[in-house]
Chains A and B, each alone.
Chain A
Amino acid sequence: MLERRVVVTGVGVVSPIGFGYEQHWTARCAGHSGVAQITLFDPGDYAVQLAAEVKGFSDELVPGDPRYYRVQNRAMKLGLAAAGDCLRHAMLDDYALRADTACLASVGRHDGGILEFGDAAVRAMDPSPAPGEPRAFDRSRYLTRGVRAMHPLWLLTFIPNLAVAHIGLAFGLRGEANTYTSEAAGGLQVIGDAVASIREGLYERALVGGCDSRVVPVSMARYHSNGLLANARADETDLSMPFDTRRRGYVMGEGAAYLLLEDAAAAERRGARALAEVAGWGGASDAFHPTSAHPEGRGLANAMGRALARANAGPDDVDLVVAAAASLRDYDAAEARALERVFGSRSVAVTAPASAIGRPHSAAGSFAAVDAISALATQCIAPTINSAELDSDAPAGLVRGTNGHPSTLRFTLANGYSFGGQCASVLFREVPA
């Protein structure tokens, strides 16, 4: 029996450089940067002043029942908007087809922190401190009076799989569902698992992607204290510089990206156009350290190798690698080594979307996929911006500048590298027009 082919028939994006897929890709190819001063909270004198935020996003842009806004966190809302954009782009408006559509999402933790708990904490402060003493925080008062300041159903904003549940409710998706919390690699793991399931005939189509938003003090503290998030002055907007010798950490990103994957025959039946085919995928793990990359990037090298093997493709077939590199000292170096191990001395074209949109954690893998798919669909490579002084081991084929590079592309490879060493890679193939 001929194996089923799986194609991408829609892309939806809400990113720091564009609302909607077309706007995002145009901005990527024009070398736009989404990195700017933090506005989602007041950073005061904190060491990190920059982030790549989705600008001008408000509840009016969130599809679905407005009654749910209060129990949705920002990542869920960004995800809903991107999922809606994807279904629009894929022109999947047939409700019967939607009902059978699976939904797999890579979702990050919600660190709400004081943005949500702040009002509660204010109520928990001892109202009459001793003279000259700071107002003390009263734990018992917090757990009784304090929490009454919060929406009673606040816990729902912390349950990750509700990101998928909200999408199902808003768009009528009632197929299989799963939520991955593997961080950056998750956005590519969902593609591999959905494609395998479609090939096995478990379902015909799946909405897969990721959403994340961590521009909140608690998250910043988590990654900054571990030396991952870069110190950033307000004027250092070119700070996200993958493979640059001056790089000193990543810039916090946020956003959401979804893809519609379909059995090629089913897509053809409903007259959908295919942007790219998923040719191969693979996952592997560094098994090395919770915050540092394996010096040889062995997890990522193995993941790329598996993606190529599954597609019966070789390294020479690959025309572009969309790197996970996010301006981190060891992770970028590890990816460079992994590329060398897979591609040898061949100078394959490489681009790093994190230069423009920062590192959106659980959505990062999905954004790498968007770059790889769009490159095939438009035969154009979006550039790596900011990286000017390349490290000695940076990939020689790094595509830099502020313009899209028209190229002939048949296979593109997207990489995801999670903090903690989970890696995934997906190979896409051009669908001839």
Chain B
Amino acid sequence: MTRRVVVTGMGAVTPLGLTVEASWQGAIAGRSGIREIDFYDASPLKTRIAGIVDPFDVSDYVQPVFPIPADNRRARFALAATEMAVRDSRLDLSTEDPLRLALSLGSNESHTQPEDMGWSFTRAYVGDRYDEGEIARLMELHEGANTLLFQESQFVPSLLSIQYGIQGPTATFLTACATGSQALGEALRMIRRGDADVCLSGGIDSMFSPIKIIGFGNLGALSRANDTPDKASRPFDALREGFVLGEGAGILVLEELEHARSRGATIHAEVVGYGVGLEIYHLTAMSPDATGPTTAILRALADARLQPSQIGYINAHGTGTIENDGAETRAIRNAFGEHAPAIPISSTKSMIGHLVAAAGAVEAIFSILALRDQIAPPTINLVTPDPECDLDYVPGVARAIAAEHAMWNSFGFGGQQV
């Protein structure tokens, strides 16, 4: 008998708001959270816009047990979103068996940004080269132990395990743009397999440091519509020219059904299926026939024992790059066949940008809320139809739907599809 897994808590900070409800209201109103980067000097960059989370004080949400560096955005987002998710679930973690609590998170890493290493660079420069050993010594002096430490991907889960006393399995994943969804999928398996009864799961990201923007820009992936930030992210539109990076966190409390029922929890949704497809055709591109994403969708349907006709809403990966949106459309056509045109599909990335490691988790939350309110959020900025993208993407304004099951897609660089 398979153990069933339900969602009993959700928390999020996104470019549309500092709570799940604020983000959701922004999304169904078709608001854009994309704006000019103003917290550092972005003038040397070709892309100067991003989906930015409003400033907030983490202590408004929770008092961190372990002090976190003030400039570590990922750690602050993670703590805020997790606290909201735990409160929403009404779980009293102190009365739960700590060994039955687990974490499954997708978190990107922050790096020591070379553009911020100027102080060390200047002093380690001798003759016409750098003294490499001296760089290490100077960094220790200049950056401090804590700052360096929290750049590691596994320290966000470590922080959360300490904050919430989680002593069961904790795992951290990083599979590019699919990270958040894959973490949720692994959490689903963890509970089904009996390794835990409750798993805090989702993704966190913030990576629009100048050097990362240059890197993504070099891959040809970023929009440069700096003058019209709110129109820059235009998934499925014929004039789309790349994605807009976003930041934020989405955390869900996944719980075994009987565990949730026995404490009278409010159940937001059931997670019924998870599918992964790997299609390594090219490092950053999908094959023209979209084999990988098609496989992932079919595997998720099979895992959930659902027919294509039973899916009433899809939250698309829909990044807004020429390639992704065409391939995703083909994958949906391949997997859903004749039903594809009837399914409302939206890309909320049109409003919040691409949250990379957090994208799948936030989009899972939006999918659940779409089921709760029976509303499909819109794909904004979709004004010029693209013959390659010929499905129903709910352009412009939100729409009432009649859906019992929703699906969300995440495809990553490196052929990672969930």
Residues of A participating in the B interface, judged by any CB pair closer than 8 Å: 41-48, 68, 71, 103, 107, 109, 111, 113-115, 117-118, 120-122, 124-125, 134-140, 142-144, 147, 152-156, 158-162, 164-166, 168-169, 173-183, 186, 189, 193, 196-197, 217-218, 220-222, 224-227, 282-291, 298-299, 302, 418-422, 424
Are B168 and A45 in contact, with the CB atoms below 8 A? no
Interchain CA distance A269-B34 in the complex, whole Å: 56
Considering only CB atoms, which chain B residue lies closest to A157 in the complex? B215
Least distance between A47 CB and chain B CB atoms (Å):
7
Least distance between B169 CB and chain A CB atoms (Å):
3
Known: A111-B111, A161-B176, A290-B149. A154 touches B280 (CB 8 A): no
Number of interface residues of B (CB under 8 A): 87
Are B139 and A178 in contact, with the CB atoms below 8 A? no
Which residues of B are found within 8 Å of A166, using beta-carbon distances? 283
Best-buried of A46, A177, A422 by chain B (most CB within 10 Å): A177
Interchain CA distance A380-B182 in the complex, whole Å: 39
Which residues of B are found within 8 Å of A121, using beta-carbon distances? 114, 117, 121, 130
Are B137 and A176 in contact, with the CB atoms below 8 A? no
B96 interface residue, CB < 8 Å from A?
no
Report the tally of A-B residue pairs with Cβ distances under 8 A: 274
Interchain CA distance A107-B211 in the complex, whole Å: 22
Which residues of B are found within 8 Å of A43, using beta-carbon distances? 132-133, 136
Which residues of A are found within 8 Å of B168, using beta-carbon distances? 283-285
Which residues of B are found within 8 Å of A419, using beta-carbon distances? 152, 154, 158
Are B152 and A109 in contact, with the CB atoms below 8 A? yes
Considering only CB atoms, which chain B residue lies closest to A189 in the complex? B171
Known: A177-B416, A193-B186. A156 touches B284 (CB 8 A): yes
Are B161 and A222 in contact, with the CB atoms below 8 A? no
B123 interface residue, CB < 8 Å from A?
yes
Are B171 and A180 in contact, with the CB atoms below 8 A? yes
Interchain CA distance A115-B112 in the complex, whole Å: 13
Are A180 and B173 in contact, with the CB atoms below 8 A? yes
Residue in A162, A175, A421, A424 whose beta carbon sits within 8 Å of that of B278 in the complex: A175
Are B125 and A135 in contact, with the CB atoms below 8 A? yes
Residue in B98, B182, B211 whose beta carbon sits within 8 Å of that of A287 in the complex: B98
Least distance between A180 CB and chain B CB atoms (Å):
6
Interchain CA distance A162-B130 in the complex, whole Å: 30
Are B130 and A155 in contact, with the CB atoms below 8 A? no
Residue in A68, A124, A418 whose beta carbon sits within 8 Å of that of B283 in the complex: A68
Are A114 and B114 in contact, with the CB atoms below 8 A? yes
Are B134 and A135 in contact, with the CB atoms below 8 A? no
Which residues of A are found within 8 Å of B41, using beta-carbon distances? 139-140
- Of the A-B pairs whose beta carbons lie under 8 Å apart in the complex, a sample of 30, sorted by A's number, is A44-B132, A45-B133, A45-B134, A46-B133, A71-B283, A109-B111, A111-B112, A114-B130, A114-B135, A115-B132, A118-B129, A124-B121, A139-B41, A143-B214, A155-B218, A156-B219, A162-B283, A174-B280, A177-B416, A178-B173, A179-B174, A181-B107, A183-B152, A217-B133, A217-B136, A221-B137, A222-B151, A286-B161, A287-B166, A290-B66
Considering only CB atoms, which chain A residue lies closest to B217 in the complex? A155
Interchain CA distance A153-B401 in the complex, whole Å: 42
Interchain CA distance A161-B189 in the complex, whole Å: 20
Residue in A46, A48, A168, A283 whose beta carbon sits within 8 Å of that of B415 in the complex: A168
Interchain CA distance A269-B368 in the complex, whole Å: 44
B306 interface residue, CB < 8 Å from A?
no
Extra 8 A-B pairs, beta carbons < 8 Å, given A176-B277, A422-B158: A46-B137, A134-B122, A197-B189, A218-B139, A221-B135, A224-B136, A285-B168, A286-B161
Which residues of B are found within 8 Å of A140, using beta-carbon distances? 41, 43-44
Residue in B115, B170, B189, B215 whose beta carbon sits within 8 Å of that of A283 in the complex: B170
| Interface 1/0 per residue, B169-181 and A, CB below 8 Å | 1111111100000
Binds A, one of B140-148, B235-243, B312-320: B140-148
Interchain CA distance A227-B149 in the complex, whole Å: 11
Are B278 and A155 in contact, with the CB atoms below 8 A? no
Are B167 and A285 in contact, with the CB atoms below 8 A? yes
Interchain CA distance A19-B114 in the complex, whole Å: 33
Considering only CB atoms, which chain B residue lies closest to A109 in the complex? B109
B298 interface residue, CB < 8 Å from A?
no
Are B133 and A284 in contact, with the CB atoms below 8 A? no
Which residues of A are found within 8 Å of B131, using beta-carbon distances? 42, 44
